[in-house]
Amino acid sequence: MTKIAIAGAGAMGSRIGSYIKQAGYDVTLIDTWPDHVQAINDKGLEIQTETDTYIVDIPAVLPTDVTGSFDLIIILTKSMHSEAMIHELKERDTIHQDTAILTMMNGLGHDERFAKIVPHEQVFLAVTMWTAGMRGPGQILLEGQGSIELQRADGQSDERTERINKIFNDAGLNAKISDNVFQSIWSKATLNSVLNPLCSILNKTIYEFGSYEYSRDMVTPVIDEIVTVAKTRGVTLDAHAMLEKIEAAYPKETQGLHYPSMHQDLYNGRYTEVDYLNGQISKYGREANIPTPNNDMLTHLIHQLEMKYVK
């Protein structure tokens, strides 16, 4: 039977893990937060939905206590902790020569970083529209529906891809195998690279940001840089479609009243994932000799604010 680990069992990892567990698979949650691991082991994972609260029994473990190996490891840590997580899992012999390491994190460049630690053909990429919230140790809040796209990072087709896709669909996670997952990853990263830093720098909701008469003049050059850089990486993005998606988030009826996740990280005293969004775009830009002044400036402004807010 396929042995599955969720490495990084925050809100999203717990959602994905609990869905797969409920579909009858062998799932282990791996997380660095001792209280969370303890609570899940003591009382099960408590899941609150819009209509219901229920418990899923699922084993949880600290990375330093992991034993045995896995056939599928889904990486859902914060981006900056993912490499340390894989190093730890590798040292503890949890990765065998067929283990699929699937990153489902936001941001760009994860596959390249992972391929420096494990063979490239073991790395899989996924992008998801599922969301989740954390209520406390062992307690998550689930709203809405989502989907998953996945592909092997080197673009090859693979029997494992089919197997992972089946697991996700058995779990009701609405998955499909993509022949260009980078397209979706970059598309999501574009949205995140615009509203995340801008709303964080300004300490504004998405609606408040969009209420500025010239918000389009702010957003468009950031998008244009990303579209240009994406092209050097073989990814074609539609700048107009990106703009439309961003502007569709402004109304109070959609996501307008929310602060993006980066805002929550920053003002709760945590480092942000800006280096995996705007910062990674700047890096790719430098490699391709393409200037990315907007993404550079946004990255620096967020790092300046991290100096101020991260405890």
- 90 among known catalytic residues: no
For its own copies, the closer of residues 10 and 285 by Cβ is 285
Does position 144 interact with its own copies (CB under 8 A)? The reply is no
Q: C-alpha 147: how far from its chain's center? A: 13
| Least separation in angstroms between CB 216 and its own copies | 10
Report whether 102 contacts 17 (CB < 8 A): no
Does position 54 interact with its own copies (CB under 8 A)? The reply is no
First to last CA, the chain: 44
Q: What x-and-dash track marks residues 209-248 binding its own copies by CB under 8 A?
A: x-xx-x--xx--x---------------------------
Catalytic member of 90, 188, 245, 311: 188
For its own copies, the closer of residues 152 and 204 by Cβ is 204
Does position 311 interact with its own copies (CB under 8 A)? The reply is no
Does position 193 interact with its own copies (CB under 8 A)? The reply is no
Does position 5 interact with its own copies (CB under 8 A)? The reply is no
For its own copies, the closer of residues 182 and 209 by Cβ is 209
Does position 294 interact with its own copies (CB under 8 A)? The reply is yes
CA separation for the pair 254, 210 (Å, rounded): 12
Q: What x-and-dash track marks residues 258-287 binding its own copies by CB under 8 A?
A: ------------------------------
Report whether 41 contacts 19 (CB < 8 A): no
Binding site for its own copies (CB under 8 A): 201-204, 208-209, 211-212, 214, 217-218, 221, 293-294, 296-298, 300-301, 303-305, 307-308
Catalytic residues: 188
